[in-house]
């Protein structure tokens, strides 16, 4: 009986030793990056959830865009390289470590300014600053969120944000009023916390009722 | 969030203390030995409240067992009874519905207080009980009213299990002759539907418009009357183990409602309108009949 107990104890010790280095260390330091590029794609929000759309035609009450702010230098390649911390030999692990690489932007969004290039209605003429007529939603929350957030709230949520496996700030912008003219186009200005400004313009949208 | 708590009258608490305080002496009051019972019942329970006209605000009790196939909900009840003496009986009972999990319970203590004849006695019973009821497809309220919108973005079958825990106090009459005994009582029950939260998310079809309706139901203690009838016929009367048949009926009647707080969020979370709504209290009944076997040892 004593021999069985001792054998089990030794096996337990071996198992513990095996388990401890078997865990992956995923708590790597964040890689810093900047926002220096923008991209705007059209969203089709006529269904239950918004989906990106190649079409430049939108419903009058469903004018929506997805905006992406990112770094053009391809930092994610360097971030994904394995970090060599052990000299001479590397630690054995029970599996390949599928870690998400944390990234943090050096700057964050402080303001979104949107100007319409076509009249929205009789009250909202071309050239008017209409960011107050837009609401926002962070990408990934499109289906789960009941309601939108304000652009101001969106900006505050980008502060100290950690991005995993891809430093792309991506969000949807949704126009509240129905567009009453046959075309729509918007110029967007994104102010960052270091004072820099990124600008972009949407495609020319054909409005259908 | 502050919620009202249950307030019991001092007289009720004194009565419970008196019943509990007498327990240690109970076994000395009778020559009869300790008796235990295990019972297994098959019950049919019907919960009913008349459908009220739909108005501007949802009345959740309109969806009580809504569109259910039968009015009768099958319940399997398994219980244990301990009688340390002829005067005292302690009972614990668990009930299981078609989901095969114990979701209802009843715990009570009964004491025979006096004799009312050769075979008749009277006493008092106090206990706690809880049972579930189902609110089905309450989202239909919005599906019918909120036209032009995807009125409920949640495509799942919407059902809310509603528990109604309560405290009971019931004077009863006990008749016992040979192998037959009958218990009949009527009393009061104070209970409240357990609060729950519901979320309805809406979106305009072909548009960006989104709205969220959040319901938070509130505590609302209510007084109900409770009446119960319980008959036992022992088929064998052996000293070690005896078997018998049991039948029970119980009726709860009260004026019940489910008050709630409703928040409507339009476009964004900060654009919110909150109202507190209390639909009218209407007659609410729970009827249960059951039959089964009992093992006494």
Does the structure show a pLDDT above 90 at A199?
Answer: yes
Matching residue, tokens 């305009």:
B204
Considering only CB atoms, B208 lies closest to which of A45, A146, A149, namely A45
Predicted confidence at residue A22, as pLDDT, reads 59
Q: Which residue, A174, A170, A172, is CA-closest to A134?
A: A174
Tell me whether residues A146 and B207 touch, CB distance under 8 A. Answer: no
CA–CA gap between residue B225 and residue B223 (Å, rounded): 7
- pLDDT tens digits for A143-196? 556 899 999 999 999 998 888 867 889 999 999 999 999 999 999 999 999 999
Predicted confidence at residue A182, as pLDDT, reads 96
Predicted confidence at residue B132, as pLDDT, reads 92
Name the residue of chain B whose CA is nearest to A49's CA. B203
Does the structure show a pLDDT above 90 at A20?
Answer: no
Given the DSSP bridges, would you call strands A57-59 and A205-208 parallel, antiparallel or unpaired?
parallel
Name the residue of chain B whose CA is nearest to A59's CA. B206
Predicted confidence at residue A91, as pLDDT, reads 56
Three state DSSP letters for B160-204: EEEECCEEEEEEEEEEEECCEEEEEEEEEEEECCCCCEEEEEEEE
Share of chain A above pLDDT 70, in %: 78
CA–CA gap between residue A108 and residue A160 (Å, rounded): 8
Does the structure show a pLDDT above 80 at B123?
Answer: yes
**How confident is the model over A14-37, as a mean pLDDT?**
72
Which domains, and CATH codes, for chain A?
28-73+99-208 (2.60.40)
Under CATH, which number does the domain B34-296 receive?
2.40.128
**Distances in whole angstroms, Cα of residue A123 to Cα of each of A99, A128, B39:** 52, 10, 76
Interface membership of B204 toward A (CB under 8 Å): yes
Predicted confidence at residue A30, as pLDDT, reads 82
Question: Structure tokens of B121?
Answer: 């006695």
Predicted confidence at residue A166, as pLDDT, reads 74
CA–CA gap between residue A44 and residue A58 (Å, rounded): 7
Mean pLDDT of chain A: 84
Question: Structure tokens of A90?
Answer: 């590397």
Tell me whether residues B268 and A175 touch, CB distance under 8 A. Answer: no
Question: Structure tokens of B157?
Answer: 């079958």
Does the structure show a pLDDT above 50 at B218?
Answer: yes
Predicted confidence at residue B44, as pLDDT, reads 94
**How confident is the model over A35-52, as a mean pLDDT?**
92
What does the buried/exposed string (b/e) look like for A146-179 if buried means 16 or more CB atoms within 10 Å of the residue's CB? Answer: bbbbbbbebbebbeeeebeeebbbbbbbbbbebb
CA–CA gap between residue B175 and residue A128 (Å, rounded): 87
Q: Is A116 helix (H, G, I), strand (E, B) or coil?
A: strand
Q: Which residue, B213, B224, B194, is CA-closest to B265?
A: B213
Interface membership of B264 toward A (CB under 8 Å): no
**Shortest Cα distance from A177 to chain B (angstroms)?**
9
Contacts of B208 in chain A (CB under 8 A): 45, 61-64, 135, 174-176
- Please, which residues have CB within 8 angstroms of residue B266's CB and are 6 or more apart in sequence? A147, B211, B272, B273
Does the structure show a pLDDT above 60 at A37?
Answer: yes
pLDDT band at B8 (very low <50, low <70, confident <90, very high): very low
**How confident is the model over A62-68, as a mean pLDDT?**
95
Interface membership of A146 toward B (CB under 8 Å): yes
Contact B174, B89 (CB under 8 A): no
Predicted confidence at residue B113, as pLDDT, reads 95
Predicted confidence at residue A168, as pLDDT, reads 87
**How confident is the model over B215-226, as a mean pLDDT?**
96
Please name the residues between 179 and 198 in chain B that touch chain A, using a CB distance below 8 Å: none
CA–CA gap between residue B260 and residue B262 (Å, rounded): 6
pLDDT band at B54 (very low <50, low <70, confident <90, very high): confident
**Distances in whole angstroms, Cα of residue A21 to Cα of each of A26, A100, A102:** 13, 19, 22
**Shortest Cα distance from B5 to chain A (angstroms)?**
32
pLDDT band at B5 (very low <50, low <70, confident <90, very high): very low
**How confident is the model over B188-199, as a mean pLDDT?**
96
Predicted confidence at residue B61, as pLDDT, reads 94
- pLDDT tens digits for A105-134? 999 999 999 999 999 999 999 999 999 999
**Distances in whole angstroms, Cα of residue A128 to Cα of each of A188, A203, B107:** 12, 18, 70
How many contiguous H segments (helices) and E segments (strands) does chain A have?
3, 14
Predicted confidence at residue A71, as pLDDT, reads 85
Share of chain A above pLDDT 90, in %: 54
In order, the DSSP letters of chain B are: ---PPP---HHHHHHHHHHHHTHHHHGGG-SS--EEEEEEEEEEEEEEEPPPPP-SS--GGGGBTTT-S-S-EEEEEEEEEEESSSSEEEEEEEEE-TT-SEEEEEEEEEEEEEESSSSEEEEEEEEEEE-EEEEE-TTHHHHHHSTTEE--S--SPPEEEEE--EEEEEEEEEEEETTEEEEEEEEEEEE-PPP-EEEEEEEETTB--EEEEEEEE----EEEEEEEEEEEEES---SS-EEEEEEEEEEEEEEE---EEEEEEESBTTSEEEEEE-PPPEEEEEEEEEEEEEEE-
Question: Structure tokens of B217?
Answer: 């139901």
Predicted confidence at residue A190, as pLDDT, reads 97
Considering only CB atoms, A59 lies closest to which of B207, B211, B266, namely B207
Interface membership of B295 toward A (CB under 8 Å): no
Tell me whether residues A176 and B269 touch, CB distance under 8 A. Answer: no
Predicted confidence at residue B18, as pLDDT, reads 45
Matching residue, tokens 């969030």:
B1
Does the structure show a pLDDT above 50 at A61?
Answer: yes
* Angle at alpha carbon of residue B17, lines to B194 and B185, rounded to 5°: 70
Stretch among A70-84, A129-143, B81-95, B199-213 having the lowest mean pLDDT: A70-84
Stretch among B22-26, B268-272, B277-281 having the lowest mean pLDDT: B22-26
Q: Is A172 helix (H, G, I), strand (E, B) or coil?
A: strand
- pLDDT tens digits for B233-266? 999 877 788 999 999 999 999 999 999 999 999 9
- pLDDT tens digits for A84-96? 555 555 555 556 6
Does the structure show a pLDDT above 90 at B139?
Answer: yes
């Amino acid at each position: 009986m004593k021999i069985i107990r001792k054998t089990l104890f030794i096996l337990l010790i071996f198992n513990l030793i095996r388990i401890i280095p078997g865990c992956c260390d995923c708590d790597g330091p964040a890689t810093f990056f900047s926002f220096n590029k923008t991209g705007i794609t059209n969203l089709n929000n006529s269904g239950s959830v918004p989906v990106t759309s190649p079409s430049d035609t939108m419903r009058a009450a469903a004018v929506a865009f997805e905006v992406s702010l990112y770094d053009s230098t391809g930092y994610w390649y360097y971030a994904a390289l394995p970090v060599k911390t052990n000299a001479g030999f590397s630690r054995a692990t029970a599996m390949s470590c599928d870690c998400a690489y944390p990234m943090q932007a050096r700057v964050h969004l402080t303001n979104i300014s949107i100007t319409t290039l076509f009249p929205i209605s009789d009250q909202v003429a071309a050239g008017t600053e209409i960011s107050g007529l837009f609401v926002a939603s962070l990408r990934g929350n499109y289906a789960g969120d009941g309601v939108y957030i304000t652009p101001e709230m969106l900006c505050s949520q980008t502060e100290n944000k950690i991005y995993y496996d891809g430093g792309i700030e991506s969000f949807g912008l949704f126009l509240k009023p129905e567009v009453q003219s046959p075309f729509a186009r918007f110029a967007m200005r994104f102010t960052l916390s270091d004072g820099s400004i990124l600008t972009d313009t949407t495609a020319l949208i054909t409005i259908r009722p | 969030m502050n919620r009202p708590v249950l307030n019991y009258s001092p007289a009720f608490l004194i009565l419970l203390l008196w019943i509990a305080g007498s327990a240690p002496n109970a076994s000395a009051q009778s020559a009869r030995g300790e008796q235990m019972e295990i019972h297994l019942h098959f019950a049919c329970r019907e919960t009913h409240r008349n459908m009220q006209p739909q108005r501007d605000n949802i009345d959740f009790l309109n969806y009580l067992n809504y569109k259910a196939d039968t009015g009768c909900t099958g319940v399997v009840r398994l219980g244990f009874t301990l009688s340390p003496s002829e005067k005292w009986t302690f009972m614990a009972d668990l009930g299981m519905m078609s989901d095969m999990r114990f979701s209802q319970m009843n715990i009570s203590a009964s004491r025979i207080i006096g004799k009312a004849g050769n075979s008749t006695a009277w006493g008092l019973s106090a206990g706690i009980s809880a049972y579930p009821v189902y609110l089905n497809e309450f989202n239909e309220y919005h599906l019918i009213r909120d036209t032009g919108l995807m009125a409920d973005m949640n495509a799942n079958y919407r059902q809310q299990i509603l528990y109604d825990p309560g405290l009971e106090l019931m004077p009863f009459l006990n008749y016992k002759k040979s192998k037959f005994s009958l218990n009949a009582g009527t009393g009061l029950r104070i209970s409240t539907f357990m609060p729950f939260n519901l979320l309805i998310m809406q979106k305009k079809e072909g548009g960006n418009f989104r709205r969220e309706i959040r319901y938070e139901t509130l505590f609302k203690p209510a007084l109900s009357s409770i009446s119960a009838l319980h008959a036992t016929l022992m088929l064998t009367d052996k000293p070690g183990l005896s078997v018998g048949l049991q039948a029970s009926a119980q009726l709860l009647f009260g004026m019940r409602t489910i008050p709630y707080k409703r928040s409507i969020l339009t476009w964004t979370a900060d654009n919110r309108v909150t109202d507190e709504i209390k639909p009218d209290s209407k007659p609410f009944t729970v009827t249960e009949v059951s039959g089964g076997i009992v093992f006494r040892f």
